[in-house]
Amino acid sequence: MLCSLRVGATILIMPKFEITLLLEQIQRCKVTVAMVVPPIVLAMVKSSETEKYDLTSVRMIKSGAAPLGKELEDTISAKFPNARLGQGYGMTEAGPVLAMSLGFAKEPFPVKSGACGTVVRNAELKIADPDTGSSLPRNSPGEICIRGHQIMKGYLNDPVATAATIDKEGWLHTGDIGFVDDDDELFIVDRLKELIKYKGFQVAPAELESLLISHSDINDVAVVAMKEDDAGEVPVAFVETTCRESFHLITTFEKQHRITEPTVYRNPLYHTGMTPEPRTSTVFIELEDHRTLPGNLTPTTEEHLQRLYRRFWGFRQLQRTRRSFGERESI
């Protein structure tokens, strides 16, 4: 937004996201730069509405907030034939923009798949071992740490949280896992706390989600951790499909892509099915072949599922029940 204001460009802001309205505005206003997040990219890729509009005015698409998979990158590029796709990385506590393809890269084009560009010039970046804090070499995934005058001084009236985020040397620990390649380009792997510890392996949910979402019968997916005695934690995928009959096709897809140990646990995926109608404040989601949610989901998984329910069904505040999540009646 600041870049647009600086050059005097027109800024088009939508009060809320609605796919048809977004596409209409792109066509009507001849939008040239689209700032999006992965759920919006996913909606544009999966929606049949996209084919009805002229999107050739878009020259640049910038995505942030979460990594895009290679399949999603390729598909969105096909939908916007004249656009270059670039990803960015940042956080409120640190600027907020720390790296951006197309914006801060050494060479604006071509853009590497999955890259977030190079770090901004007024910041230092290091990739640290999450356990020891020591710096890691190039192409080695670790926690992204940032240092510079643009980072926050601390959380207001919360010295404990501040000390846990900014160390004594001034490095802000982002909680994100990534790596820097030989060209100083930053790549994001996943959130540190979202990594699933499976039999000593660290499984990134975003990688599994990226693969599953490439299936034409999957509208959305969330991979989360579930505790398991032998493995420690196992990945569980909650999948929203286009129809219930397509679920057996997805399990075949998993076998074809060898989504098996040690990449992902062999248990069947939990399945949310289609969006229930009509939607009411007491709607609950039935899980295919699983009438109760697992009672051993990790706290991070609980948070992930709540975000998922808010996004799919518009719930504002949720409460945990024996079977599922539902909207609180007291709102």
> pLDDT tens digits, residue range 209-240?
777 777 777 777 777 777 776 667 777 777 77
State the amino acid at position 18 in one-letter form: E
Q: What is the C-alpha R_g of the chain?
A: 21
Give pLDDT, residue 89.
92
3.40.50.2300, 3.10.28.10, 3.40.50.980, 3.40.50.720: which CATH number matches 1-82?
3.40.50.980
Residues 280-323 pLDDT 10s: 222 223 333 333 344 555 555 555 555 555 555 454 544 444 44
Intervals of CATH 2.30.38.10 along the chain = 88-192
Contact 284, 326 (CB under 8 A): yes
Across all residues in the chain, what is the average pLDDT? Answer: 75
- The mean per-residue pLDDT over the stretch 237-244 comes to 69
Residues 155-170 pLDDT 10s: 999 999 999 999 999 9
How does strand 84-90 pair with strand 97-100? antiparallel
More confident residue, 305 or 179: 179
Per CATH, the architecture of 88-192 is what? Roll (2.30)
More confident residue, 34 or 263: 34
Give pLDDT, residue 267.
38
pTM check: above 0.85: no
In the predicted structure, residue 277 carries a pLDDT above the cut 50: no
Intervals of CATH 3.40.50.980 along the chain = 1-82
- The mean per-residue pLDDT over the stretch 266-276 comes to 38
Give pLDDT, residue 304.
56
Q: Which range has the worst mean pLDDT, 41-55, 96-110, 198-212, 285-299?
A: 285-299
134's tokens: 């020591």
Intervals of CATH 3.30.300.30 along the chain = 195-327
Give pLDDT, residue 72.
85
Q: Which range in 10-14, 195-199, 325-329 is most confidently predicted, on average pLDDT?
A: 10-14
3.40.718.10, 3.20.20.70, 3.40.190.10, 3.30.300.30: which CATH number matches 195-327?
3.30.300.30
More confident residue, 43 or 220: 43
More confident residue, 189 or 284: 189
